[in-house]
């Protein structure tokens, strides 16, 4: 415990799922947290909870990650000493719909590409120069098994996660001479709000995604992220792919009759 005492950890997507689980996993390690998402009231509540439990210091940033101007202004509003971020966890992301490409919605494609690819780039662009200056830091991107192999009707979401995979690999090369770590944590099925959002609030359809399978929990994924973040200084975990035991790759799942 306290392995990350006073380290500044920026978590995008902290209002739900894996990002929120990271906040709960990093707080007891003594980290100071920057919690970011659009739903500010959830972040406020999370910050109060972590303060009570672990005396965690936290800053809250509410922005739409699709909007570079909002990110820039939000980041600029941080107290100067909070801008030297030690670990950036890029968890904000989403899927919208599952359709064949010829029937797909360009509006949904825009949201996925603008959030998962451009949003991740925008935020990293703001944080990274401070890490480069200090020649120290760690970027941890939430990829997916969908960034390694595609599944039916997953076309554009999979494309965004292939892009995240490429960005992680490229960043690792760009930053090689700066002692900055880059890790990609790539889960299979995790039960969060992800499927409810993918299916536009259809909770029943979302539940069916996990029918007959024990999915990963957001805590399982946060545990893998914490592992990446707590290795010795000279060790970089490039990639962790984790799936439920009933899943191999994106597309092979064994379901028990329920
Ligand atoms: P989640 O519970 O739906 O959480 C998604 C988070 O992203 C929320 O905090 C949400 O916050 C934030 N977000 C979405 N759009 C945003 C925007 N425009 N601006 C700012 N923040 C935004 O889903 P999750 O499962 O934790 O997903 C986290 C990451 O894991 C994503 O990158 C996802 O692709 C990846 N992943 C998930 C799974 C899975 O099966 N769940 C598997 C592999 C990879 P607000 O809505 O409050 O803004």
Q: Quote the DSSP letter at residue 216.
A: B
Cα–Cα separations (whole angstroms), residue 88 to 58, 142, 148, 157, 218: 14, 11, 22, 22, 17
Q: Is residue 2 situated within a structural domain?
A: no
State how far the alpha carbon of 137 is from the alpha carbons of 7, 80, 191, 232, 234, in Å.
Answer: 10, 17, 30, 13, 12
The 10s digit of each residue's pLDDT in 44-56 is 999 999 999 999 9
Residue 258 lies in a domain: no
Whether residue 258 has pLDDT greater than 80: no
What is the separation, in whole angstroms, between the first and last Cα of the chain? 40
Ligand 1 mutation pick, 18, 96, 151, max ligand atoms within 8 A of CB:
18
What's the mean pLDDT in 144-158? 98
Q: Look at residue 1 in the predicted model and tell me its pLDDT.
A: 77
pLDDT of residue 181: 98
Average pLDDT over residues 32-51: 98
> Closest Cα partner for 93 from 223, 170, 4, 185?
185
What's the rounded mean pLDDT across residues 219-242? 98
Distance from residue 197's CA to the centre of ligand 1 (Å): 9
Position in ligand 1 atom list of the atom nearest CA 66: 18
Mean pLDDT over residues 169-187, rounded? 98
3-state secondary structure of 61: strand
Q: What are phi and psi of 152, to 5 degrees?
A: -55, 135
The structural domain count of the chain equals 1
Which phi and psi angles does 180 have, rounded to 5°?
-105, 130
For tokens 């299979």, the residue is: 188
**CA distances in angstroms from 59 to 16, 36, 71, 92, 130, listed in the order given:** 17, 9, 14, 17, 18
Catalytic, out of 68, 122, 130, 157: 157
Testing ligand 1's pocket by substitution, the residue of 33, 46, 74, 194 carrying the most ligand atoms inside 8 A of its CB is 194
Q: pLDDT of 54-103, one tens digit each?
A: 999 999 999 999 999 999 999 999 999 999 999 999 999 999 999 999 99
| Residue 116 within any structural domain of the chain | yes
Would 39 be classed as within a structural domain? yes
Domain presence at residue 3? no
In a domain, 1, yes or no: no
The model's confidence at residue 177, banded by pLDDT at 50, 70 and 90, is: very high
Ligand 1 atom 48: residue of nearest CA: 38
Model confidence at 131: pLDDT above 90: yes
In the residue annotation, 130 being an active-site residue is answered as no
Q: What percent of the chain has pLDDT over 90?
A: 98
Query: Domain for residue 218, yes or no?
Result: yes
Mean pLDDT of 235-258: 95
Domain limits for position 74: 8-253
Ligand 1-lining residues (CB < 6 angstroms): 13, 15-19, 37-39, 64-66, 91-94, 115, 142, 144, 187, 189-190, 192-194, 197, 218
Q: What is the CA(27)–ligand 1 centre distance, in A?
A: 20
* Residue from 47, 94, 118 to probe ligand 1 pocket by mutation (most atoms less than 8 Å from CB): 94
Residue with CA closest to ligand 1 atom 41: 190
Q: What is the CATH number of the domain that holds 147?
A: 3.40.50.720
Question: For 180-213, how does the pLDDT look when each residue is reduced to its tens digit (9 = 90+)?
Answer: 999 999 999 999 999 999 999 999 999 999 999 9
Q: How many angstroms does the Cα of residue 116 sit away from the middle of ligand 1?
A: 9
Ligand 1 mean position, distance from CA 93 (Å): 4
Q: Confirm whether 102 is domain-assigned.
A: yes
């Amino acid at each position: 415990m306290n392995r990350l005492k006073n380290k500044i950890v920026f978590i995008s997507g902290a209002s739900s799922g894996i990002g929120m689980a990271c906040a709960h996993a990093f707080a007891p390690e003594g980290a100071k947290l920057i919690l970011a998402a659009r739903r500010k009231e959830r972040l406020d509540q999370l910050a109060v909870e972590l303060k009570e439990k672990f005396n965690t210091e936290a800053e809250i940033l509410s922005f739409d990650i699709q909007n570079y101007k909002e990110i820039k202004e939000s980041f600029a509003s941080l107290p100067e000493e909070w801008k030297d971020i030690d670990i950036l966890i890029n968890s904000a992301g989403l899927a919208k719909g599952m359709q064949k490409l010829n029937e797909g919605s360009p509006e949904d494609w825009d949201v996925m590409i603008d959030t998962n690819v451009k949003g991740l780039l925008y935020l990293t662009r703001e944080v990274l120069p401070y890490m480069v200056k200090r020649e120290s830091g760690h970027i941890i991107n939430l990829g997916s098994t969908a960034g390694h192999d595609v599944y039916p009707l997953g076309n554009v979401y999979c494309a965004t996660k292939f892009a995240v995979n490429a960005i992680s690999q490229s960043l690792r090369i760009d930053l090689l001479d700066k002692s900055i770590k880059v890790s990609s944590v790539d889960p299979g099925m995790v039960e969060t709000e992800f499927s409810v959002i993918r299916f536009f609030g259809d909770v029943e359809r979302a539940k069916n995604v996990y029918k007959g399978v024990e999915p990963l929990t957001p805590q399982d994924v946060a545990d893998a992220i914490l592992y990446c973040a707590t290795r010795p200084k000279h060790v970089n975990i490039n990639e962790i792919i984790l799936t439920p035991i009933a899943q191999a790759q994106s597309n092979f799942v064994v379901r028990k009759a329920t």
